[in-house]
Structure 1
Amino acid sequence: AKEKTLDGKAIEDCFDQAFFESNFWVMWSTMFAFQTWHSAIELARYLKRFIHLFPGFARMEGVLRTRFNQYDSLIAPILAWLSDQGVKLEPGTAVVDASFTGTGSALSLSELVLDRDGTKTTLPVSGADQVFLTLGSMTANTSEGSNQAPPPGPETDSAWTLWKNIAAKAPVFGRPDVFCGDTERSRWESFTVTLKTPAFVEHMEQFSGNRTGTGGLVTIADSRWMLSFVIFHQPHFRDQADGTSVFWGYGLRGDRDGDFVKKPMADCSGGEILEELAGHLRLGTQVDDMFRNAVVRPCMMPLITSQFMPRRAGDRPGVVPDGARNFACLGQYCEQPHDVVFTVEYSVRSAMEAVHELAGGRPPPPVRRTDRNPLVIANAIRTILAG
């Protein structure tokens, strides 16, 4: 379907109920965190973007992971490199607004408004400066719980303030409320577990047939919370203590009462989430040996799938908005044809394109259009027909 025919539509507007009861939907939705009310445009992009992986999807082939968690593997080295180049980083400082001069056809950013630990200051932008604005955040307003307590309610301040303020000044910045305006439909809860004994990891290796760190997401298809979890290659953190193991999971439908813990996931402590997981895995009397002294960190993310909310043309600004002279937009909420959000690549591509447009140099590589390869399409059809 052409994207313009899917404008504003949800996935549930395009399929009947049988589709949402299929094995394909269980696998696809839990792997990528799609809900039935999410964007039909984004689902179409995902299907086209990853169609070359269809033959191995049931075994999660083609899913790439970093050696350690993404912070240790990607963010920390980049921060160290930037610091070595003399880049000035200001933790505790938020850019909350900006001023512009000119008209929509020739718009220049002239001033940034900063919030430094509660104090507002301004930063003038000279004619030689170039400004790169990150719009929104899928992890904004995240809150953490513990073994004994569920995550508290989210803070009210947000990484979305900048985008909301500048969008009110110029239509080229799109409509942020489309994405952040309904947290009941953009949230889910994850949990990270640190184990002090290898018993559970060994049990899952035998159960799944996958050596730790080589398997994909394990989804409990009949869980009312739609629980999924994955055991990473160990150690998962560079400074992880010897003798410990870490695994991560989430509940795509944590708004419903659990099967064993009869309340929504958001109301559960970390210990209760482990109880629900153990019940589904039928661990029985082994549970004490496997989860003794485990540390659980439940994490509520009210905007984690905000980038998936149904959208129309113009809801997302271009990387370099029409008429922009000295600024560009980065991140998950700017428009990049054919590519898919909720990936590292989408954010990286936006930055590469922004620098290329404003400062010259090498453009980002084009999006690989495997959906136009006849052999790829034939293999995908063969996979679908085989069930």
Structure 2
Amino acid sequence: MLSRIEYIRNDVTQNCEGKLSEDLFNKYWDDIAQAVFKLVYSHGIAEGREKNLLISRLHMLSSIDLDKHKICRYIDMSGTYPATILQKIISEYCTLTEQTIEGILRSEKHYLYHKRFVTESCCVCNANDVLFCTYTKVIPERLWDIMYEWKEDIDSHICPSNLEKCCERFIPKMIDKCDLSVTVPLVLNIPDMLAFVINRLYVNFDTFLMNNKHAIYHSMEKKRCCNCVKDPTEKILFNKKEWNKLFRKEDSVSCKISPKDYCCKYSVINNIKLSNVDEILLSKICHVTGPISVLNLIGQDTFLYFLNWTVDEQALSGAITELLYVIEDETFRNDMLQRISSCNLHQLYENNVKVDVPRWISKQLQNHKATSETLFPMFVFDKDDLNVKSLQIPTDFSLPNRTK
């Protein structure tokens, strides 16, 4: 362990002339941190104030800090509570429309079938003269397989197009309505259900658009505008034509810093209504704004979202609270509000003492997609001690200041 530290010192001073590439710096940083940890724990530091002080100092080596208590709370705030709330919203929608979730999946099957990443024309398309290529591809095969199963002998259907797995041979499965990876895409991709949620969330749709104009703008335009405090990192989702369906340019308004057509020059189209917006555009709006967008971000990468949540809990707690007011059941709503309130943090921790934090971290890191992006070393709690690992952060992910 000491020899490894000595080797790194000699290599840096003799061969690297005191200068390191970013990759080599990250590698040596991880190596030193791991060596220091092994060196400390090989001496069998007893539990107590001295060990806690030592660990606190060692955490200075890590750019990402993992706190057990916060992880336990995050598991509930990002998974348990939103799942329960979304399940209740879907239940109220089904009651109102006198449907079951399986019935909804059955009626929306053809629509969802062609929103898969990998799909082709089917006999329903041919019969109704519908172009399957016009569907927005947003549903991965993993999600489709969770919602539907293929039956070879279903009603002896013979596909006129001779497709091996025709749309008509799929039937809905019994889905887990507490699984956010399923329920969030359902809400985003079933138009009537999404309209139901938005109608309850926002009495004035035009006000909602105006309040979120900047976020929508930078899901169309990457360049920094006069309202930006930092370079935008949003992924491009909208095109100019879609933007013009929501906003109109005000010729009488001038930008304070530039003659360019930044979002400050635009206002919401007069008398715009939810019914005026097509289902694809509405889904895109909810991908980037509102409470569903927050849950969608968590679903895309739970661990990366956790990094920002440790610095700012407001976005997630605000999204949960906002979704609660979609629900008409006041008893349910008040109970959930009480459970997520700050006065119950101690009870929340007591309820989560049985959570296997190291296992949760390990699972998240395994699920995390490897990229060639920036590496950030961090300390990970193992069963017996701490370990040093590196997490790869995409360039378009905005890290909080504490982890930079």
Q: TM-score range by the shorter chain?
A: under 0.3
Mark the structure with the bigger radius of gyration: 2
More strand by share: 1
More helix by share: 2
- Scaled by the length of structure 2, the TM-score of the pair is 0.22
Q: Which fold has the larger relative contact order, with Cα–Cα distance below 8 Å and residues 6 or more apart in sequence?
A: 1
- Scaled by the length of structure 1, the TM-score of the pair is 0.23
